[in-house]
Structure 1
């Protein structure tokens, strides 16, 4: 039986950025390399960020990075699981962990962008309550259309009575 751990970080260190930069090269869908400096720069000025690392037998098998767009809106920026570990439910587990953390931080909306060609990701998001909020068509190929999805979060019982909605930027 595999030992699965989800590690939660709220700051990105240079060492973790280096580890993620190397890891990203092993993900076929992430077709552009990101340097440690690019990762650090992306998160440098964010008020709140979350980095989840999925470890299988103490080896990095996946990650999920997100940050605040506003006080109430959290953006799930980048995430992936290596192909050999995709059967373990790591992406769904990290999605649930990210949502729980966002609720604790009083976010009321999570948004994510993906491409039409990544059907397993789209299906997972829709099955977990995300709704299509916007579409950026590609001039090259319909599979390259970028899809933005949002999910409303209810932080506590008193929030249920409020009409809190995700707003498309």
Structure 2
């Protein structure tokens, strides 16, 4: 199946947020639309990249925002379980990184958890370096990653 990559403008509508939370529940467990709204509130340069099928079902997405004037933070991404290990996560990442380059960012940062091994490996294979770890009371050890974008 070929995915269509589209960009949604921020702020997201309630309907768009519902579509994203339906997917995140399948991948990560409950994540409310209010949590997404609150995280993105007051952020700049928000990108919302969506992969859909021909029926407009959301198959995956990546959301990010500016961390500093030269660094973009890739905050949240997910791929539907039925579409995992088919290259869709990589396709979304490439789209996000190309967008970042066109916006003038030099770096992308993200974080993940050890339990999300496929995400960690995708990041490493895509040129991210592990820059550290941080203990989180809720999630345990977070792995911090950074990639220099090729201009």
1:37 to 34, 39, 63: 34
If you compute each CA radius of gyration, which structure gives the higher value, 1 or 2? Answer: 1
Determine if contact 2:73/2:110 at 8 Å carries over to the other structure. yes
Match of 2:98 among 97, 100, 105: 100
Post-superposition Cα deviations, 1:11-42, rounded to whole Å, max 9, x if no partner, equal 12222112112221111xx13x2222221221
Higher strand share: 2
- Counterpart CA distance in 2 for 1:38 and 1:139 is 18
Pairing 1:84–2:82 present: yes
SS in 2 for 1:26: helix
The match for 1:9 is 8
Change (3 A) 1:25 1:103: same
Deviation at 1:52, TM superposition (A): 1.0
Runs of 5+ consecutive residues of structure 2 not aligned to the other structure: none
Structure 1 length-normalised TM:
0.80
Structure 1 stretches of 4+ moved >3 Å: 137-141
Looking at structure 2, the residues matched to 93 and 123 of structure 1 have their Cα atoms a distance apart, in angstroms, of: 15
The CA RMSD measured in Å over matched residues stands at: 1.9
What is the TM-score with the length of structure 2 in the denominator?
0.89
